[in-house]
Amino acid sequence: MNAYQQLTEKTDYLNNLFQDLDFPTIGVFESPEKHYRMRAEFRVWHEGDEIFYAMFERGQKASGASLLRCDQFDAAHDSINALMPRLIEAVSPVPLLKNRWYAVEFLATLSGEMLVTMIYHKKLDEQWEAAARALQSSLGIRIIGRSRGQKLVLAQDFVTETLNVGGKAFRYRQIEGSFTQPNAKVCEKMLAWACSAAEGLGGDLLELYCGNGNFTLPLATQFDKVLATEVSKTSVNAALWNIEANQSHNVKIARLSAEEFTEAYMQNRSFRRLQEQGIALADYRFSTIFVDPPRAGVDDETLKLVAQFDNVIYISCNPETLRANLDKLTETHEITRAALFDQFPFTRHIESGVLLKRKGA
C-alpha cells in the first residue's frame, strides 16, 4: 500500500468515527514520503567484529531472529542518513567507543544541527570522554554519552530548530530526551492550521500541555495575551528560552499540570507558583483555549474547564480519546473545522485537529 492509499484509509477512518457528530469536511495535510523524521533511534548490534544499526520486528523480542539491519532508514531526515555510515565507520576502529555501545539516538533539525546520544552498557570514564570528543570534532556533531546513572554532555544537550509559519521564522530549543514533533514539515503545517483556526478570535488564549512552546509562539501572534501551562521543568525552561528568543512578550508560562490549573481557575486551590511568577488569572480575558493532550486525552475535570471557553482548538494524537472528549464538548459546542495531519506516514498513527465554537455564540 502506498502513502496516498494509506492516507485515504486514515481519512475514511476519521469520517466514520465522527460521522454522527455533524463533522465538517476534513482538511488533509500530507507528509513527504521519505526523510521526514528529525529523530531516529537504533540498537547497535555487535556481530563478531562488525557493528551496525538494528531495529526489530514489531511486537517481537529483540533478538537475532527478529533483527532488521538498518544501514539506512528512509523515514529519517537526509542529514541522519548521511551521518549513519560515517558514525559507524569512525567508531568501529576505536575500542573505547565501540565496546558495549548499546544504542544511539539522532536528533536533527531543518536548520542543520545534529545531536547524537550514544548509550552504553558500561561506565563512561575520562578515556571514553576523550575519544568521544575527538569523534565529535571529526564529524562536526554534538555528542551526549549515556550509561546507567550517567549523562555526559560534551557540548550541549539541545538543538535549535527553525520552523516557518505564515512567512515568519520561529526558533525552538529542543532538548535531548524531551518531546518534540518528529515530522518538522508536517509540524509547520499543523502550526499554520492552528493559526488559521485562531484568526479573528481575538482576546486572550489559554493553552494547556504547552511543552516547549511549539504551538504557543505562532498562536501568540493571533491573541492579545497568552497564558500557557506545562508541568515539566525541562519543557518549561525550553519554553522560556523560546519565548525570549522569539520576542513573544505577550506570553507567560505557568508551571502547572492541566489538573492543577483547573483547580486554580475554578478557585478551588491557590498555587504559590502562580504568585511567584507574577501571574494573576483575573488579568486575562480568555476567549479561546488550546489543548494538545497526551494519548489519554483530556481528563474529565479539565474537560469541564475546556467547555467553559467560547472557542476550543484541540490537537489530538489519538482519535479514540478525541471522540470521547467530543461527545461531551459537542453538548455545548459545534465543530466548525477539522484536519488530519499525517505525522507518521506508513503507520496507523493519526494526528488530527478540530476547532469548536460555542453554540449560539
70 catalytic? Reply is no
Residues 200 and 127 in one domain: no
* Known binding positions for S-adenosyl-L-methionine: 181, 209, 214, 230, 292
- Told to judge if 276 belongs to the known catalytic residues of this protein, a careful annotator would answer no
Q: Note whether residue 165 is domain-resident.
A: no
Is 12 a member of any domain? yes
pLDDT digits (tens, 9 = 90+) for 317-337: 999 999 999 999 999 999 999
Range of the domain at 105: 39-159
CB 261 within 8 A of CB 254: yes
Looking at the fold, whether 197 and 334 belong to one and the same domain comes out as yes
Summarised one tens digit per residue, pLDDT across range 79-125 is 999 999 999 999 999 999 999 999 999 999 998 999 999 999 999 99
3-state percent helix, strand, coil for the chain, nearest multiple of 5: 35, 30, 35
Q: What is the pLDDT of residues 160-208, one digit of tens each?
A: 999 999 999 999 999 998 888 999 999 999 999 999 999 999 999 999 9
For residue 160, what are the contacts with CB-CB under 8 A and spacing of at least 6? 109, 111, 113, 171, 172, 173, 174
Nearest Cα residue to 139 out of 74, 77, 78, 91? 91
What's the CATH number where 189 sits?
A: 3.40.50.150
Mean pLDDT over each residue of the chain, to the nearest integer: 94
The DSSP bridge partners found for residue 288 are 205, 311
230 with 327, same domain: the answer is yes
If you count them, how many residues does the chain have?
A: 361
Which residues participate in the annotated binding site? 181, 209, 214, 230, 292
Residue 176 domain flag: no
24 and 44 inside one domain: no
187, 195, 210, 317: the catalytic one is 317
In DSSP terms, 228 is beta-bridged to 207, 253
Same domain, 199 and 301: yes
Region 299-309: mean pLDDT is 93
Q: Does residue 240 sit in the same domain as residue 113?
A: no
Is residue 30 exposed (0-12), middle (13-18) or buried (19+ Cβ within 10 Å)?
middle
Instruction: Classify burial at 21, counting beta carbons within 10 Å of its beta carbon; exposed 0-12, middle 13-18, buried 19 or more.
Output: middle
The catalytic position among 176, 188, 260, 351 is 351
